[in-house]
Amino acid sequence: MAQFDTKIYIVDKSVDNVDIYAHLQEAARWIQEGEVVAFPTETVYGLGADATHSEAVRKIYAAKGRPSDNPLIVHIAQLDQLQDVAYAVPDKARKLMEAFWPGPITFILPAKAGLAPEVTAGLETVGVRMPDHPIARALIEAANTPIAAPSANRSGRPSPTTAQHVWEDLQGRIPLILDGGETGVGVESTVLDVTLDPPVILRPGGVSQEELQAMIGEVRLDPGLQDQSQPARAPGMKYRHYAPHAPLYLIEGKGDEAVEKMRAAIMEQVNTGKRVGVLTVDEESSLLADLPVTCLVRCGSRNHLEEVAHQLFHGLRQFDAVSVDIILSRTFPRQGIGLAIMNRLHKAAGGRYYQHKNQ
Ligand code: TXA
Ligand code: MG
């Protein structure tokens, strides 16, 4: 793989004296020359390449260390680009596109020939999304091609919500990062398979099941997702994803009971000499403040799950800056964007729930 002296260009309108136009032109040039560039979207940072160019798309997989059987999302800037990448768009999908695009939802549709086969990883379908971020859209327009882009993290790591996160994972492996500041939503797009009727959510994300159902009626959840509501028995490490370096365990329970379980788990670990990290919410951090926790990360208010989603991946990455042996995290209601939060936390934990020794 080529080595690069990775540059970071600020493309944030709120920062003075930056030539966003020139930076976008340079980024578009890299894409047209078959290289990959990291850029902000409203969900997480993406790692983009020309979706019609096989060699360029292969560089995405190489930079991320991503298994080649995991397909990429194609990003478009205008609705009329949809016909270049997919066909047979059902009415329900049209209706959802009108309502939620540009925005955090990806539609799985039959793929058009013309895309690099590496984008779809050999499948006959393709995921398409129109992001709601001015820089992402301007980059697609300037490059004048649909852009294939997974999240801009090394495979298995938490998705990046700042340019700094991308730098931590990919410096030296890509030529350029466009820095548009923190992303808004904080978790990735909802992936909705609209080749099925009723449509099926393959990955919960920025648009909730409830919002989709309000528009088109029944929307199902992939059965593989529902299993996650149960404490898993012995899930293998192969399911670990979005993961900080130290092992993460979930602690479920309602209100005071959950705080008590968390306190007991912390002490049990501290007493065996472990350095403990804790992921919690603003309201509960003071209830843990008297314990010898090495790193306590708050990810917003438990009454504002949008805020938790926004801070989740940054929170998970914070544990890597200190050395902890184990991370304990509270769980969240699986409603609205809470379903996406729990999906990511469950994967980060490899499905593990904390088991108290004296139980
Ligand atoms: O918010 C997002 O979606 C971000 C930003 C950059 O747009 N992108 C993102 O891409 O999260 P990635 O590659 O990290 O996740 C794409 C997900 C994967 O779970 C992949 O398996 C699924 O979408 N996917 C892509 N194409 C698919 C297809 N044809 N059929 C089924 N699943 C597909
Ligand atoms: Mg990803």
- Domains identified in the chain, total number: 2
Instruction: Determine the pLDDT at residue 240.
Output: 67
Which range, of 14-23, 215-224, 226-235, 270-279, averages the lowest pLDDT?
226-235
Range ranked top by mean pLDDT from 17-21, 237-241, 294-298, 319-323:
294-298
Final residue in a domain of this structure, among 225, 259, 286: 225
Q: Is 43 in the pocket of ligand 1 (CB under 6 A)?
A: yes
Residues 145 and 51 in one domain: yes
Q: Is 337 in the pocket of ligand 1 (CB under 6 A)?
A: no
Confidence of residue 104 (pLDDT cuts 50, 70, 90): very high
Token duo for residue 7 = 């540059």
- Domain containing 274 equals 248-348
**235 lies in a domain?**
no
Cα–Cα–Cα angle for 31, 103, 28, nearest 5°? 15
Confidence of residue 152 (pLDDT cuts 50, 70, 90): very high
Range ranked top by mean pLDDT from 61-70, 249-258, 302-311, 349-358:
302-311
Residues 324 and 215 in one domain: no
Instruction: Determine the pLDDT at residue 235.
Output: 34
Mean pLDDT of 329-347: 96
Q: Is the pLDDT of residue 233 over 60?
A: no
Confidence of residue 236 (pLDDT cuts 50, 70, 90): very low
| Strand arrangement, sheet containing 190-193 | 7-10, 176-179, 37-39, 46-50, 147-148, 73-75, 125-129, 105-110, 190-193, 200-203, 220-221
Instruction: Determine the pLDDT at residue 103.
Output: 98
Closest ligand by atom to 156 CA? 2
Check residues 2 and 79 and name the one with the higher pLDDT: 79
The DSSP code sequence of 233-291 is SS--GGG--S--SS-EEEE---HHHHHHHHHHHHHHHHHTT--EEEEE-HHHHTTTTTS
Residues 319 and 189 in one domain: no
Final residue in a domain of this structure, among 225, 257, 292: 225
Residues 306 and 264 in one domain: yes
Closest ligand by atom to 125 CA? 1
71 CA to middle of ligand 1, Å? 7
User: Phi and psi (nearest 5°) for 296?
Assistant: -110, 115
* pLDDT more than 70, % of the chain: 96
Instruction: Determine the pLDDT at residue 13.
Output: 85
Instruction: Determine the pLDDT at residue 242.
Output: 84
Check which CATH number belongs to the domain holding 157 and give it: 3.90.870.10
Q: Is 123 in the pocket of ligand 1 (CB under 6 A)?
A: yes
List, for residues 296-325, the tens digit of each pLDDT value: 999 999 999 999 999 999 999 999 999 999
Task: Report the atom number in ligand 1 closest to the C-alpha of 129.
Answer: 7
Instruction: Determine the pLDDT at residue 239.
Output: 52
- Side-chain-side CA neighbours of residue 279 (13 Å): 33
Residues 15 and 87 in one domain: yes
List CB-based neighbours of ion ligand 2 within 5 Å: 151
- Return d(Cα 154, Cα 7) in angstroms, integer: 18
44 CA to middle of ligand 2, Å? 9
On average, the pLDDT of the chain sits at 94
Instruction: Determine the pLDDT at residue 15.
Output: 86
**357 lies in a domain?**
no
Check which CATH number belongs to the domain holding 336 and give it: 3.40.50.11030
Instruction: Determine the pLDDT at residue 196.
Output: 97
Q: Which residues pair with 105 in a beta bridge?
A: 190
Token duo for residue 229 = 């509501």
Is 197 in contact with 92 (CB distance < 8 Å)? yes
Helix (H) or strand (E) holding 221: strand 220-221
Mean pLDDT of 179-183: 97
Final residue in a domain of this structure, among 178, 193, 225: 225
Residues 285 and 166 in one domain: no
Is 60 in contact with 73 (CB distance < 8 Å)? no
Instruction: Determine the pLDDT at residue 282.
Output: 96
Mean pLDDT of 14-35: 95
Token duo for residue 20 = 């966003």
Q: Is 191 in the pocket of ligand 1 (CB under 6 A)?
A: yes
Mean pLDDT of 78-92: 97
Angle between helices 338-348 and 305-318 (to 10 degrees): 20
Is 352 in contact with 242 (CB distance < 8 Å)? no
**279 lies in a domain?**
yes
